[in-house]
Structure 1
């Protein structure tokens, strides 16, 4: 009786704690301020932005490569010992083999038992990590209702794993971490080649599809996956095989899509319309306000690369993006670039500083923290049209947009700006410092409309060691801005907490429920 009363009292003490902690566990987005920025200050369901991207960075699912080989047996099996003793011949020979086996077991068993315990602990850790990540995904989707979901690379933990292990981790990704969601369809990523003339088919292989924003609710159940170095490798070890298996499981590494606002007084464009027509301008009423989403494989932008054909494909995709963009003078469109490796920044801006390493054989890039200065400038000038030259098209102010990436697990939020000709070269500043302390010209903030600039967000990792962070990008069209209206892009982030919080709540809640059952059983007796 004393034991049962003690257990019941302990359960009474733990139950309120479990209720509170479990409530927090499943409603943490509410308490941690995980929400999408809104067009209006007062929250109502109708005030949600039409485009709401839930961005997640670097889950890095580990697997069997972090465990001993499944076929590895450090101790001889009992079947082997019995077999050897059976066919040993004489009884003395059998006794000798049995004594030797027992001696070997007694000497090695403590060490091998500890290895077995560590193996099981690692397997449990992998299992728990999957559900920790899944909890973040489920809670954030339920609480914030994103219109789109994206993972910014490093879906898996290693590019050097075999195909079987790759498939196992892929199943865990889709069935456990992102259960209920699926990959973007080939028809969306590859466009509709064959529905138009030969001239249009080349661009269609990259996507270029046009959809009315919000009409296809299936986007809420799709995951836009970006290829990272742990998925396909850096330029020096990125080959056709790794790209093919990634694309089969997670989608294409390079593609784009346009989302237009629903038309009211303007007839809707056909599905074959190409919005990036060089003849378009602000006064062309056939072009509705549009968001362009670009998924870029940045792993082989820098040289040297192992596969020149794959690098050529990436360059061709960039040329497609640039050649099919709306003019920089048009402010009724905005570009959202999703990639993995951050753009170049001077040391001290982010936690990571620029770092490059190359294979000794000269076959390519072995590791890099950021893109090279040359590649970064090409993206800013080519995709976004930024320039310090006031004589450039659109005075060099470029297109509205944002760059979102992963790779740097600590995260970084910066503003790239281009000082005017005669001033210092283009630099960047931390986003929260930019409006006040980072100036490009005397008395003018680098966020001034007269200074070419764009925001780059490197999202902190969603891994447990980095507190399970996620990003929330909202985009809406503000008709009151400019002559014809402009897109507004706002971003914020939040974290869940280290993985130990998840483990603690789950274990405590489970233990408390068992103690209540056990105590009731003994009290009834």
Structure 2
């Protein structure tokens, strides 16, 4: 009974943690006479989640192995060593190896079960509290690309029926391009549709991606390369050029952007998609289109800016020699995305002085998270990156080409159960879209466990 007040307060915190942490979508800000009440919500509100990495059977003992291996050889040992010695050997193995292994397996099973509900609590609570218009998971939905199809299906079932219950896979009928955009906010189904990004633990890196992995991912979670466009909900809003503001979301499979790749045809598919996205983009002079790039691997930046430094590792030549692991996409690859998809350039003689298209990049992969501003100095020869917190002078320079990249900190318990709340709105005073983001954390998984254990004890 003495625990009751504590349990009530702890439970209130756990189930209302967005309130206590002031987690909300950033309110739109407008220039000049278009400044209105901060209570207005942005028309595009993205709940962004990073790297849940749902684990499964591969982290548990082989179910075909004996529960007590020390007893398996007991009969044979009796014949060789006598009953007394065989009993001592088996008892020692039972107490020092078998039982601890069994208890650890039981703990791991409980941990996996609880982890599903911990992740589910983050999604369910934030979705209820913040009311997003859209949801994305930025890769590494599952914990390993090496699992067989049966285990992949099991984890997929847990993804849709336990962790993100109520969510829906994006199908072809949901995808509307710039030629046929839908009105932003008109279809409430988008609040339940999951914009899933493929990560290395879902399909592998370039050196081990194959057709089968792509097929099973797309069957359960949606396309690896696709885009969707939305028009601003205010149908009377138009610009001096007569165009209507639109929001373009590009979902890019960055897992095989770099070389060498195991399956070149899949890499060609990705680059065909990228090239089509570039050629179908609005002119760089048009600030009424906002481009949101969702992908898994972050863009290149120098060591020390984020926790993960640039890193590449490769399979041996006898295994294809392809990319086995990478922290960032290569500099030249990222340069191509910045200059192609966003139309940015350090050349002041380029169209629109190289200022490019308005937009934002969201990535995963680096579990620690990072927030940077990619920019090209007018007197420099290459792209650079600065931490967003230190980039105020850079972003204030209206003649400096650049774009923000937010790498979501993982929602896994050991990283604090983070989520991103991203608002995008059209500022009529500026004649362009604007964006802002806030991070929200629940706390390590032990908080979730402790509250429920104390609640059970008290009840």
Q: Which category describes the TM-score, using the shorter chain as reference length? A: over 0.9
CA distance in 2, matches of 1:74, 1:511: 31
2:139 touches 2:199 (CA, 8 Å); kept in 1?
yes
Structure 2 partner of 1:469? 418
Deviations 1:373-399 (A, max 9, x none): 010000000000000111111110000
CA distance in 2, matches of 1:221, 1:384: 28
CA distance in 1, matches of 2:63, 2:189: 40
Structure 2 partner of 1:460? 409
1:415 touches 1:454 (CA, 8 Å); kept in 2?
yes
Relative to structure 1, is the Cα distance of residues 458 and 410 closer, same or farther in structure 2, using a 3 angstrom cutoff? same
Relative to structure 1, is the Cα distance of residues 100 and 174 closer, same or farther in structure 2, using a 3 angstrom cutoff? farther
Structure 2 partner of 1:49? 42
Structure 2 partner of 1:72? 65
Deviations 1:122-167 (A, max 9, x none): 1111111111100000110011000000000000111001111111
SS of 2:389 mapped into structure 1: coil
CA distance in 1, matches of 2:221, 2:420: 20
Q: Which has the larger radius of gyration?
A: 1
CA distance in 1, matches of 2:277, 2:224: 14
CA distance in 1, matches of 2:10, 2:179: 47
Structure 1 partner of 2:371? 413
1:254-273 equivalence runs, <5 A: 254-262=225-233, 264-265=235-236
1:263 touches 1:288 (CA, 8 Å); kept in 2?
no
How many aligned residue pairs are there? 449
Candidates 12, 23, 30, aligned match of 2:19: 30
Deviation at 1:71, TM superposition (A): 1.1
Structure 1 partner of 2:286? 330
CA distance in 1, matches of 2:85, 2:279: 76
SS of 2:94 mapped into structure 1: helix
Structure 1 partner of 2:438? 492
CA distance in 2, matches of 1:212, 1:22: 39
SS of 1:299 mapped into structure 2: helix
- The reply on whether 1:427 has 2:384 as its aligned counterpart is yes
Candidates 362, 372, 382, aligned match of 1:404: 362
CA distance in 2, matches of 1:480, 1:53: 23
SS of 2:403 mapped into structure 1: strand
For structure 2, which runs of at least 5 residues remain unmatched after alignment?
A: 30-35
Deviation at 1:97, TM superposition (A): 10
CA distance in 2, matches of 1:454, 1:117: 50
Candidates 140, 143, 148, aligned match of 1:162: 148
CA distance in 1, matches of 2:429, 2:249: 24
1:9-408 equivalence runs, <5 A: 11=1, 13-39=2-28, 42-44=37-39, 47-73=40-66, 75=68, 105-110=90-95, 111-189=97-175, 210-262=181-233, 264-265=235-236, 283-285=240-242, 287-361=243-317, 362-408=320-366
TM-score normalized with structure 2 length: 0.92
SS of 1:342 mapped into structure 2: coil
Deviation at 1:492, TM superposition (A): 1.2
TM-score normalized with structure 1 length: 0.81
CA distance in 2, matches of 1:98, 1:172: 48
CA distance in 1, matches of 2:170, 2:383: 36
For structure 1, which runs of at least 5 residues remain unmatched after alignment?
A: 1-10, 86-91, 192-203, 268-281, 437-444, 514-525
